[in-house]
Structure 1
Amino acid sequence: MNEKAVLNGKKPENLEEQAISLVGTDIYRKLIKDYTEKQWGRPCTELPAFIIKRLPVRLTYDNNYFNDKYQGIPIGGYTQIIEKMLDHENIEVHLSTDFFENKESLEEEADKVIYTGMIDQYFNYEFGRLEYRSLRFEHEILDIQNYQGNAVVNYTDAQNKFTRIIEHKHFEFGEQEKTIITKEYPSDWKPGDEPYYPVNDKTNNDLFKRYYKKSKEKKKVIFGGRLGMYKYYDMHMVIHEALTCVQKELSK
């Protein structure tokens, strides 16, 4: 069925309608619907349209994720970049340290604090808890050289409860005799879990606005990242936001 007929000319108001307007009903049902509902734990009709708008639609055989000229990950991963930055600047690092147990002293001693944790937790859930999605990982070591031929394969069906399988050696073209795969299972977040994704529906976004307004009262604290700004950032967006933040601070 023609997507325009399905929507009857209306402006898309949720993810399902936005996806149908972009790719039609067949591709939506085969590739988007089940995968998205596994990822977010709710029907596509209850998710905001912007989530699907971040991915470009191309009528070509270009298999890149985005339309950016350069795409990939750093050689050696992101960890080695951070390690070199910290080592170059001789920055003191404290591991296994609970920020909230040391919050007052850390903020008192620092000229600026960059906080990238959950913004609602920072304010002790004063206005209520924001919702997040978490992930559970299952790792397997297989006695074969190659499992799937790619670093990441997405599973768009409803039968498999994981959303993707990661085969780590393909990120840097390893030639090890064995291979390690990781199955990624989305899950509801609860205290004690790692929060990965903000749930940007209207209820949560309205609640975030209250926390965001309160965050502006904290002159020494910069809130950033997916959790601090309660926003779905891809990695290139995170880097852009970080550099923009630095420029603003240096221009003061």
Structure 2
Amino acid sequence: MSKWGWIVVGGGVLFASLLTLWQTEQPRRVQAKNVFATKKIVVGTTGDYKPFTYLNRKTNEYEGFDIEVIRSFAKTTGIDVEFVPTTWPTLSADLASGKFDMVVGGVTKNIEREIIGDFTSSYLSFQKTPLVRKEDAKRLASIEQINRPDVTIGLNPGGTNEQFVRKTFTKANIVMYEQNLDIPQAVASGEVDVMITDTVEAIHYEALDKRLAAPRIQEKWIPAEKSYLVRESEGDVVDVFNLWMQSHEGQEEMEQLKEKWQVAS
């Protein structure tokens, strides 16, 4: 957790001033190899979680809100960024083993991930929600309505959505999909009845496909926060990223990208 949050109360301080102050306060590093010394950060991402991260197969480039945030941060701090693939089941192990320095792409904060790394400040609050066919928007809009033997949930392995589904919907049928991107289409075609995801992804697909709906549920599901997970040995990244995100430039950039990618809870 950054100790510099008190500096930016009011949100009007320039990032350059904050970075200079941070640099003067740092002790001499025994270990010279970090992302600011090497001028490069390696970032893991699943590439399957719109609008946060998506691997465009035509360009073979990653796109999405989180991808652009990290590119903007890297440009501001003068470092190069390399994106490498990971999966939801292997995300934590890949980070702990040093495959990359941080992981981004709709990552939800939880204790298991905090144990193996450090989270930056949150950039979005949300809750879990269903994505259904438009004609089922009223029929499948609560835990009680979905948690039935005649309801089938499409699920991607390894993330917090799987944890929530297996704990909450014990009576529903579950069909596993290796690719998270395949589940909205499976819902739309009637292959499954429901996808359990976060409000941002559900709203994204509701706008993208007229066959789909993100019911405005009346009950409280699990609230959560999106953040970026950084390898423990790269604590400087957390501090500097938080400084950037809380600075005037960082706040402005985040808001512009949220509007561009329609990232809202």
Considering only CA atoms, is the larger Rg found in Structure 1 or Structure 2? 1
TM-score if structure 1 supplies the norm length? Answer: 0.26
RCO (CA 8 Å, sep 6+): is it higher in 1 or 2?
2
The structure that is strand-richer by fraction is 2
TM-score if structure 2 supplies the norm length? Answer: 0.25
